[in-house]
Amino acid sequence: MCYFIGLRSARSTDPRQEKGPVTQFPALPRAGEDCGKERTAEQERERMEPWKMILSEIAARDEYRSLTRIAVAGDSVAACGEVVDLSSNDYLCLSRDQRLVEAAIAAARRFGVGSTGSRLMSGNLDIHRELEEAIAQWKGTEAALLMGSGYLANLGVISALSTTVDQVFLDRLCHASIVDGVRLGGRRFRRFRHNDPGHLEELLQGAKDPSRVLVVVEGVYSMDGDVVPLNELLALRARFGFILLIDDAHGIGVMGREGRGVVAVNRACEVDVHIGTFGKALGCYGAFIACSSSLREFLVNVARPFIFSTAPAPPLLGAALRALEIVRSESGIRSRLLSTAAWFRQRLRQDLGVSTPSRSHIVPVILGENALALEAADRLRAAGFHVKAIRPPTVPRGEARLRISLTTASSREQLARLLRVLQGVVGSC
């Protein structure tokens, strides 16, 4: 059971609709105005807080965001009546699994609740090594390196690798952390059309030395739910010899044999860098980089988010180890989720005429305008479903959507009711 405290619609937090000093943004003095005249206290606060103008601009685009306080995580939430949560990344519902809770407690008793420092200082504990070895064996790579989060993993490895290549090519829908990693590395980058190996091939043909190119894609795309065309991508890598990184944050635990993600273990050597997280299907927190031994040593020496961050906490690592055991041994939980997702996508097409790019447990309903997505999310909430409206910059402009995130707790009865509600929502948009 999950409780939302003070649940409010995204539209109700728009500063243009709220009253009070917190969400009123007076204009800053413009160039040429007499700045010598006495300012009111409110004007002085505004001068010292120029970000309020940016907030006003965000609100005007229907892109204003606010936090919803959650008391307990789970598969449903209660606020003005219980509603079903279809926004969670806890795909296998492991975050509150008592086996993980007990493993976290055991690790805390053995190692403490904190790691006391960075891995290069005092924070390199036995449990870090144990989890890294388990991940490398699971993913079929020589080595693995733990990171504090998926964002930090991408920031660290991509910024480090960017210093070794001439160019970086990204899928157009790559996550913000990937883009930020390239920018931190100071390397030029180009985007190729989403899931379009032909366009990537054109860019590679134009590169002076394709072997000095880093190509970055995702396994399962977090907002579209579609999957990388892996065979075509690996064929291009064999032909051009570029460095390939796949961020499979949303595929790990759900896709592939033993939940290894979109890359099968017998093809792991064809991918130079595998990124995965513990904070989604594995129900914990943190991330990993699976790679060669030499690349791991390079990252230990060069990746700034690794060098200058406190090491992941032992209780989280203990839980992650147990989650990994569960995912590898209990294939039934994955197959049930993927079967439910396939059924739901088919019903969307048949009952609502909604075409979705998804091939996974993440199912978007693209509505276009921000206001339409916000209104649809409000209507779903009123009908008992917590589904988030996703807007720019998370998705491209004009592609605002409802992101329906299915988990093992999502029953077909619940989803059939959701389809009935969606029929009215989509029909009126």
Tokens encoding 154 = 């991408």
Could you give the angle at the alpha carbon of 320 between the alpha carbons of 318 and 321, nearest 5°? 65
Instruction: For residue 387, give the DSSP letter.
Output: -
Residue from 132, 92, 137 nearest 265 by CA: 137
Q: How far apart are CA 429 and CA 372, in angstroms?
A: 6
**Of 272, 271, 273, whose CA–CA distance to 288 is shortest?**
273
Say how far apart CA 171 and CA 149 lie, in whole Å: 21
How many whole angstroms from its chain centre is CA 422? 25
Task: Give the strand pairing for 385-386 and 273-277.
Answer: unpaired
Distance CA 5, CA 10 (A): 14
* H or E, element range at 404: strand 400-405
What are the C-alpha distances in Å from 149 to residues 280, 294, 343? 11, 22, 32
Q: CA–CA separation, 315 vs 117, rounded Å?
A: 15
DSSP-derived letter for residue 75 is: S
What are the strands of the beta sheet with 143-147, ordered from one edge? Answer: 143-147, 287-291, 273-277, 243-247, 213-218, 167-171, 189-192
Ordered DSSP codes for 209-275: -GGGEEEEEESB-TTT--B--HHHHHHHHHHH--EEEEE-TTTTTTSSGGG--SS-GGGGGG-SEEE
Q: Which residues pair with 76 in a beta bridge?
A: 84
Residue that has been written with the tokens 């006495």 in this structure: 38
Q: Which residues belong to the active site?
A: 89, 175, 218, 222, 247, 250, 280
